[in-house]
Amino acid sequence: MSFVVVGLNHRTVPLPVLERVTVPPAQIPKALRDLAGREYLAEVALLSTCNRTEVYACCTKFHPGVADASEFLAEQAGMRATDLAEHIYSYYDEAAVAHLFGVAAGVDSVILGEGQILGQVRDALKVAESEGTAQLSLSRVFRHAIEVGKRSRAETGIGRGAVSLSSAAVALATERLGTLVERRVLVLGAGEMGEGMARSLAGSGVAEVVIAGRGTDRATELAARVGGRAIPIERLPQALVAADLVLTSTGATDIVISHDDAEVAMQRRFGRPLLIVDIAVPRDVDPGVADIPEVTLLDMDDLKAFAESSMDRRRREVARVRRIISAELERLRTERTGREVAPLVSALRTRGEDVRLAELERFRSKLDGVDAKTAEAIEALTRGIVAKLLHEPTVRVKEAAGSGRGELYADALSALFDLDPE
């Protein structure tokens, strides 16, 4: 059984492709069932965020398993697998584990060290376990990754001063506008990102925060927490006319602010400029809105460029995080060694003891006349011979466990001694 990750992220594909493969949270259970139904994928988890869509799987065969996961991503994008192949990366066994550890630790994010990804890894595991697609093997690796993420943030400065995507969006808007004091802000979306952006406005001196969401109850609750007001999504056209800044990140799969919506709103603003920061993937705002006079539209690509300029301090912490990842990989390797080798070693020792007892039984008629002291010496002598003979093979197979050589040793022991570790 091989552990693999197959995916695309903000480094390997342009935003238009990344948003096509993004799986909305409501569709992840269905996607997991789809993946689990493919021939070579035994256990599956799916991590789909605004930065990445990745399939983590325990597969029965490596290359066919990677092909199954790649085909799924291509279907999500509405592309042929061959056309998407140049953008897809895949990692195998320990490299796949190291990749997941790095993702959970925040060293593979747009915002280096951002904390939201750790919760997203945890959620990916929770959904997969709920759907029954993540069982013992996959769950063990994901739980270890969550530990790595926690340890990295506790023992290094990777998360110190790090901004989340939502707070980075507000910081980017502040830089572009110069100040948010007395600005009217429309936050589109009342989910995790929307709440993060709304909370990041605290202390900025904004004149008003308006929360627009499809679920009015959630929008109302969020508005109450941040001292704003909620409106139904149907009133979005009027809200666009009043706002100075629009921050948007919904879970919608279709465009929320169309070119026509924005154009009509700008006609009613009498030349007042409008800044829109869209960090949704897929995008909430029609990219063509950027061509409307007096509208500035920023998206994830702009946010990535902004984040790059403020990462120097956290970059110095990456080496420390990598050392933690290496140590945790070694710990995982040791634990796996114990799980894999212990049954084989136990079977080897059982076989040795069976042979010893069988030989003593074969010579029992010749040993019946010996005294108790001699019988005890024979028992100790035969036990000692078996132990010494099996000591070196046992040590060698334990030392090599987890490597290609270890697999050869284990296979050889199983074949030569006809062992069945099960």
Active site residues: 50
- The count of C-alpha atoms lying within 13 angstroms of the C-alpha of 151, restricted to the half-sphere facing its C-beta, is 17
Q: In this structure, how many other beta carbons lie within 10 angstroms of the beta carbon of residue 42?
A: 18
Cα separation, 202 vs 302, in Å, equals 23
Beta bridge partners of 245: 185, 275
Could you tell me the CA-to-CA distances from 160 to 75, 281, 363 in Å, in that order? 39, 26, 73
Number of H helices, E strands in the chain: 18, 10
Q: Are 165 and 114 in contact (CB under 8 A)?
A: yes
What does the DSSP assignment read for 400-415? Answer: HTTSHHHHHHHHHHHH
What does the DSSP assignment read for 315-379? Answer: HTTHHHHHHHHHHHHHHHHHHHHHHHHHHHHHHHHHHHHHHHHHHHHHTHHHHTTS-HHHHHHHH
Cα separation, 104 vs 295, in Å, equals 36
Cα separation, 181 vs 393, in Å, equals 73
Torsion 201-205-210-216 (CA) sign:
positive
Which residue, 91, 104, 120, is CA-closest to 328?
104
Tell me, what DSSP letter sits at residue 109? S
Sheet holding 184-188, edge to edge: 229-232, 208-213, 184-188, 245-248, 274-278, 295-298
Cα separation, 160 vs 158, in Å, equals 6
- The count of C-alpha atoms lying within 13 angstroms of the C-alpha of 336, restricted to the half-sphere facing its C-beta, is 22
Cα separation, 108 vs 102, in Å, equals 6
